[in-house]
Amino acid sequence: MTSVHDRIDPEVAEGLEGYFKLVGPGGLGAISDLGERRARLGAVMAMAGAAAGPSDDIETSDHLVPGPADAPEVPIRVYRPEGADGPLPGILDIHGGGMTTGGIETEDFPATALAESSGCVVASVEYRLAPEHPDPAPVEDCYAALVAIADQAADFGIDPDRLVIYGASAGGGLAAGTALMARDRGGPRLALQMLLYPMLDDRLQTPSSQEFVDIGVFDRGLNAEGWAGLLGDRAGGDDVSSYAAPAREEDLTDLPPAYIDVGELDGLRDEAVLYGLSMMRAGVPVELHVYPGGIHASEGMAPMSALAARVNGYRQQALARALA
């Protein structure tokens, strides 16, 4: 029988080996100390940004916007294409990191690239991290940032009628939870929710969540650790809000159109696909891609690969259609 590792796209497999050389054998999940893991992620992302070089086409600015009741302010970093006239579409970018790592600095390179490729104003949000700040802190911070960029759209040069919420991995789960909040609280209307290999289900009962345990990129162990950090003893139990774990939501009507992508060999594959199917059944327009040979964050592991070109191309097309 073909092993899981033999099924990985060859270019992605080569990129994965390069990743292990930077991070260490077994990836971030093999680093037990959370502080060290956060530092290592920061170093890797800084190297990626340095390799890409500075962008002369994007202006950046840091802001503090009104936060939820227990956090009066939420930091955001805004990226705007230089010289662009008039209000532009706006994207709220929510970083990944398993709910426990990442931030504005680690997201700087991806957010810059997103602003360049989309021609949109991108606002990256520094939500509070678990386990120091468990649920509902992260999703409440993200919702506060969404409300702020909508309310202050003129100040940021954003068209409030063309707003997208965008997130990968944990950020994809938070994007889905924020979209649910916006619907339920009468918040900003979204043109699109872009959920990239989203972390949606704390119950860890799908076949894919149990199958992929040793690839080295957000395997079952890191997934379980992230949910435990976010939810504590509630993880997997009955007392979990769908804003924290959107796969638990039973009513998916009246949500904005969705774009979802995930790798075939990603532990988050099944929950991403099932969430997309559930939205479709509720009448929500959904574009869903599952990439053969893809793992978690394939495009980041092998940015020059043919698979990354397909992934990024479809994402750019979806954004352009939603914001036309």
CA–CA gap between residue 256 and residue 161 (Å, rounded): 13
Is 169 a known active-site residue?
yes
Q: What is the DSSP letter of 247?
A: G
Question: Is the C-alpha dihedral spanning 312, 316, 317, 319 positive or negative?
Answer: positive
CA–CA gap between residue 284 and residue 127 (Å, rounded): 27
Is 209 a known active-site residue?
no
CB 220 within 8 A of CB 213: yes
Structure tokens given for 141: 């911070």
CB 197 within 8 A of CB 268: yes
**Reduced to 3 states, what is the DSSP secondary structure of residue 80?**
strand
Please tell me which residue in 95, 266, 289, 305 is annotated as part of the active site. 266
CA–CA gap between residue 26 and residue 19 (Å, rounded): 10
Please tell me which residue in 133, 270, 296, 305 is annotated as part of the active site. 296
Please tell me which residue in 118, 124, 169, 298 is annotated as part of the active site. 169
CA–CA gap between residue 125 and residue 119 (Å, rounded): 19
CA–CA gap between residue 251 and residue 316 (Å, rounded): 29
Is 63 a known active-site residue?
no
> Residue 64: beta bridge partners?
75
Question: Is the C-alpha dihedral spanning 35, 36, 37, 42 positive or negative?
Answer: positive
CB 254 within 8 A of CB 185: no
Active site residues: 169, 266, 296
